[in-house]
């Protein structure tokens, strides 16, 4: 369940955030007994440090949380580092924060209480928080709910998150917001000219499908396309076991666009939203597609298969072609597409490519304001030759290993020829726990996109 703010109550425990530089001033401003207690417990206001001050009646009168040095740039959501350690109870933040810093702190408080406990026999209790004064609580809660939806979907193992379950999650989201939901499944994909989606998913016992959700009747048209490979064995180019361990997260693009869709719909952003998700399992049986096969896409270009483990761009190609047929004002795709992107920028940054100058300007600025880091990568035209094989129009896995994320993005761009287009090559996973971001599924780029939409679409 998504964390929400607690109702205001006089019994809420004051939560006092202290930066290292302000510790001396804080010690002088509090009662001597409190100052002595903090000193006796070695509270130095380091990031994540917590000191609970007793109230003399068997409870807690105050909670002090350290923020570390002011102006540090190594961490986001520094308040959440300590908030996650608080004992169960309701807390009320006392601080001088304002603007984006206050919004970040409020979101961090909610996300600090996120737990993926679906498979725990005894779920751990978490603290809850009253909405800080000056915060748009409804907006922060909607964003937190989108983040938590994304995390839950990615964290769920493939045994319980196949194409059907991913489709069910999208349909539930559609019902929640009064959106329209439809789906094309199995051999109907061929009948409706979605051959690449069918080809990638046909070897699994769980039928492939194309999920289609629409919402809103006025405003600019925005289409989100998310890679929904619920598990990726690599196909006949079978991954080694160590590389398969995290492949439940290969539907991270789909999870991220569903989280973003929730934010957009819950906040009534004035757009005509469409969400397209090709949901498949890249598996192995006698019907699996093979290295050397040449496939024909929905849009028409043929694709030579040089690696069946480069399947994400195939299913996205058909979905992108379908997306453009709806004549949207902007198309955004999100996918856990290449290891090359991780080598380039690591797991924390969300690299993006765009053909739209407005997006290129607005997105990095918005990302900085909402603590959702992104990094622009180039659609480098001279590399187009690398995705052009000898016997087909396109190569799904160029040899040589150079510029793997860029060539994948160039491949996708071939299927969006007349519409402003932005592509995210995300990781979708936190390999190490960080403030407000436990180890596991990650929402990346969604909050930045949400904040950038007004400038990009003229809202």
Query: Looking at the annotation, which residues are catalytic?
Result: 239, 313
Label residue 301 exposed, middle or buried (CB < 10 Å: 0-12, 13-18, 19+). middle
**Does the CA dihedral 82-87-90-91 come out positive or negative?**
negative
3-state helix/strand/coil string of 342-407:
HHHHCCCCEEEEECCHHHHHHHHHHHHHCCCCEEECCCCHHHHHHHCCCCCCEECCCCCCCCHHHH
CA 147, distance to chain mean position in Å, is: 7
Alpha-carbon span 177 to 215, nearest angstrom: 8
Spatial CB neighbours of 298, under 8 Å, sequence gap ≥ 6: 193, 194, 195, 196, 317, 318, 321, 322
Measured from the Cβ of residue 78, the count of other Cβ atoms closer than 10 Å reads: 25
Range 314-335 burial, b when 16+ CB lie within 10 A, else e: bbbbbbbbbbbeeebbbbbbbb
- The span from the CA of 66 to the CA of 61, in Å, is 17
Specify which residues 434 forms β-bridges with: 437
């Amino acid at each position: 369940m998504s964390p929400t703010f607690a109702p205001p109550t006089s019994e809420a425990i004051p939560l006092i955030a202290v930066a290292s530089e302000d510790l001396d001033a804080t010690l002088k401003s509090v009662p001597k007994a409190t100052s002595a207690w903090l000193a006796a417990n070695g509270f130095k206001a380091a990031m994540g440090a917590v000191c609970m001050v007793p109230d003399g009646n068997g409870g807690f009168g105050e909670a002090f949380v350290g923020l570390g040095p002011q102006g540090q740039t190594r961490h986001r959501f520094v308040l959440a580092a300590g908030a996650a350690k608080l004992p169960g109870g309701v807390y009320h933040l006392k601080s001088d924060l304002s603007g984006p810093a206050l919004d970040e702190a409020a979101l961090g408080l909610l996300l600090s209480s996120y737990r993926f406990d679906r498979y725990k026999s005894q779920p751990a209790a978490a603290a809850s928080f009253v909405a800080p004064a000056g915060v748009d609580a409804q907006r922060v809660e909607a964003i937190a709910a989108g983040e938590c939806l994304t995390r839950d979907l990615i964290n769920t193992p493939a045994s319980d998150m196949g194409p059907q379950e991913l489709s069910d999650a999208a349909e539930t989201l559609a019902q929640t917001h009064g959106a329209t939901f439809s789906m094309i499944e199995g051999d109907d994909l061929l009948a409706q000219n979605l051959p690449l989606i069918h080809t990638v998913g046909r070897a699994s016992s769980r039928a492939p499908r194309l999920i289609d959700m629409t919402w809103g009747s006025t405003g600019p048209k925005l289409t989100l396309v998310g890679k929904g490979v619920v598990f990726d064995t690599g196909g006949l180019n079978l991954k080694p076991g160590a590389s398969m361990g995290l492949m439940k997260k290969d539907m991270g693009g789909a999870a991220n666009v569903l989280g973003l869709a929730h934010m957009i719909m819950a906040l009534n952003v004035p757009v005509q939203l469409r969400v397209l998700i090709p949901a498949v399992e890249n598996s192995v049986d006698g019907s699996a597609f093979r290295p050397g096969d040449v496939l024909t896409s929905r849009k028409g270009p043929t694709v030579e298969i040089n690696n069946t483990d480069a399947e994400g761009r195939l299913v996205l190609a058909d979905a992108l072609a379908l997306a453009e047929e709806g004549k949207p004002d902007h198309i955004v795709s999100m996918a856990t597409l290449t290891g090359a992107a991780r080598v380039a920028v690591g797991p924390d940054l969300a690299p993006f490519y765009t053909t739209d100058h407005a997006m290129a300007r607005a997105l990095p600025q918005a990302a900085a304001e909402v603590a959702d880091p992104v990094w622009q990568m180039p659609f480098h035209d001279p590399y187009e030759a690398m995705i052009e094989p000898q016997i087909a129009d396109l190569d799904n896995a160029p040899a040589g290993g150079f510029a793997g994320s860029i060539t994948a993005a160039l491949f996708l761009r071939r299927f969006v020829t007349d519409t402003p287009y932005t592509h995210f090559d995300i990781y979708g996973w936190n390999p190490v726990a960080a403030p407000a971001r436990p180890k596991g599924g990650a929402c990346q780029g969604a909050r930045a996109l949400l904040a950038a939409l007004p400038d990009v679409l003229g809202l």
